[in-house]
Amino acid sequence: MKKIYSLLSLFLIITSGFGQNKQSEKADKLYEGYQYVDAIEAYLEVVDDNDADTYVYKQLADSYYHLFNIKEASKWYKKALETTQDAETYFRYAQVLKSEGKYNQANTQMDKFAKLAPKDQRAQAHLANPNYIPQLADITKTFEVEDITINDAEHSDFGAVLSNDNILYFVSTRKTSGKEDAWTNQPYLDIYKSTRDEKGNLSVPEEVSELNTMYHDGPLTISADGKTMYFSRDGHSDGTYKKLKSKRVKVAQQGIYKATMVDGKWGNIEALPINSIEYTVSHPSISKDGKTLYFASNMPNGFGDSDIWKISVSGDTYGEPVNLGPKVNTSGKEGFPYISENNILYFASSGHQGYGGLDIFKFDLNKKEASVNLGKVINTNRDDFAFGVNNTLKVGYFSSNKSGVDNIYKAIPICQFKTIVFVKDQDTNAILLGASVTILDAENNTIASHSTNVKEITSFNVSCDNNYTITVSKEGYETASFKVATSEGEDVTVNTDLKPINEMITETEVKLNNIYFEFNKSNITNQGALELDKLVAIMKDYPEMKIMVRSHTDTKGSADYNLKLSERRAQSTMQYVISKGIGKERLSAKGMGATTPKIDCKSNCTEEENAQNRRSEFLIIKE
């Protein structure tokens, strides 16, 4: 059975590769003459008569491909590739899929292309870097996560905070020689530190002995200048606890304490006035300017088990606690706040929707929109908490018990920013609705497209490690492209002023930007389609207008070669315009080769001069 199936497959491959058949002869002649619009009609007649095979489907796909009709090309390439085709067909289908934003499917087709044409430069480039499409902004991919070397395999390590002078402070139960917590039968928490070198490596941790007591100490927060610390501490250490006489138990709450750096050591330790024997005040985080302290507490008038609160700080004076409200706090547990330099609050919660246990969320205090889950790269179905990021040093740390014990993990931020686009009329400065806005990366791959039909502003989230271009089109206006300024995470605004399209008409011609073609090719590209759509719009506005398309080449090839190449390009250009609904009787095309250069530099042309000579003209025919 296997042999029979193999022979049948071979027969199908040979048949589909044989080429033209009698039913498609008319369409083939039109295709070979670059009459793609008429060729499509002829091929579709074959399809309607149920006489089509994969050869006809491929020819249909190629015809649409030459006209840059992505939707129809995709449809027919898919049918053509139900049997094996030549390498170029797989490549073209991959390009079509990329234009549709289907990058994973495109990679599959490129893999097939690379197997059939392994020496082709395009295949080699694909194999060297198949996933070059930049990662889009996504809550599941805002950080890269790595293990660190300082975790204790058996004991809890968490609450890491990196100071601006590269000291990583954290808390740990690794000190087994001390007293154990009667509630957990585990060692009490102590504060440790590790020095981070210029390569990001961490030194062997050492205890910060001047801060540690025989009870719980930490977690903590460090001021921007590294001279002030706020840290949590068990009330037993200074005798602030409540006695339960019935059970002969001393119950102490967590409180927040302040310490300052004195001669390289932490000292001047004092309790904050918000501490209480009735409730816990813990998990401090100080703002960059030192004026606001965030913390977690189960004090009265909260929303749930524990909430995130804040107080104002002015020297040794502290304001009244303020609850951060329902966009942060829930009826569950909220804790481990961390306030970043750019005013983003990170916190752990069991009340917001997450993956399970505690999840880490962020809340932008500048915008005060809903809290956002950091996604599955950070969060798991276990407890994930104590997230902090040093924006200056571009590295963060968080804690998780996903391995079965609390460990610290490194989080490397993926730089992203928002591109905000305003579309306006160049002459009147009026906001334009109904415009199509597309963002492309440095390789001219379409990242996303939006319309301004609903809003006057559109925006895109993109990564910092690429260069982007915004292309804007609207009926009645000249399509234009605009560079997006580079960013290190700040929003970028792009003002796109569109020029009314009829200003492109002169007495003798319609002036378009140059219609570029790939080397030795005559199919219409994305850039060429954008330009030719302007001509289509003008000819619809002026139904009596007739246009001659004249295509020119540079002088690099032979005269005969250049003449034939320019003729093919002129025909492709004309066919594209016809495919958009312009009557064929209104268009003519002529290839000029290199006979009428714009710059007569003979055989000594520079690259810039050659580029100017490779041009298309759209002459208005007057009768």
| pLDDT beyond 90 at 151 | yes
> Could you tell me which residues are beta bridge partners of residue 549?
589, 618
- 533 close to 582: Cβ distance less than 8 angstroms: no
306 token code pair: 């524990």
| pLDDT beyond 90 at 30 | no
| pLDDT beyond 80 at 188 | yes
pLDDT tens sequence across 286-321: 999 999 999 999 999 998 889 999 999 999 999 999
Q: Burial code of 151-170, b = ≥16 C-beta within 10 A, e = fewer?
A: bbeebbbbbbbbbeebbbbb
pLDDT tens sequence across 38-88: 889 999 998 888 888 999 999 999 988 887 787 899 999 999 999 999 999
pLDDT interval class at 248 (50, 70, 90):
low
Most confident range (mean pLDDT) of 123-132, 231-240, 280-289, 532-541 is 280-289
- 545 close to 486: Cβ distance less than 8 angstroms: no
pLDDT tens sequence across 557-601: 888 998 999 999 999 999 999 999 999 999 999 999 989 888 888
In what helix (H) or strand (E) does residue 57 lie, and over which residues does it extend? helix 54-66
| pLDDT beyond 80 at 623 | no
Can you give the three-state secondary structure of 600-623, one letter per residue? CCCCCCCHHHHHHHCCEEEEECCC
**For 270-279, 357-366, 441-450, 610-619, which range has the lowest pLDDT when averaged over its residues?**
441-450
Closest C-alpha to 549, from 520, 569, 522: 569
| pLDDT beyond 50 at 8 | no
DSSP tag of 192: E
Strand order in the sheet with 167-172: 157-162, 167-172, 190-195, 206-207
Burial (Cβ within 10 Å: 0-12, 13-18, ≥19) of residue 453: exposed
For the residues 105-128, what does the mean pLDDT come to? 85
**For 85-94, 113-122, 263-272, which range has the lowest pLDDT when averaged over its residues?**
113-122
**Tokens 């409200």 appear where?**
325
pLDDT at 309: 98
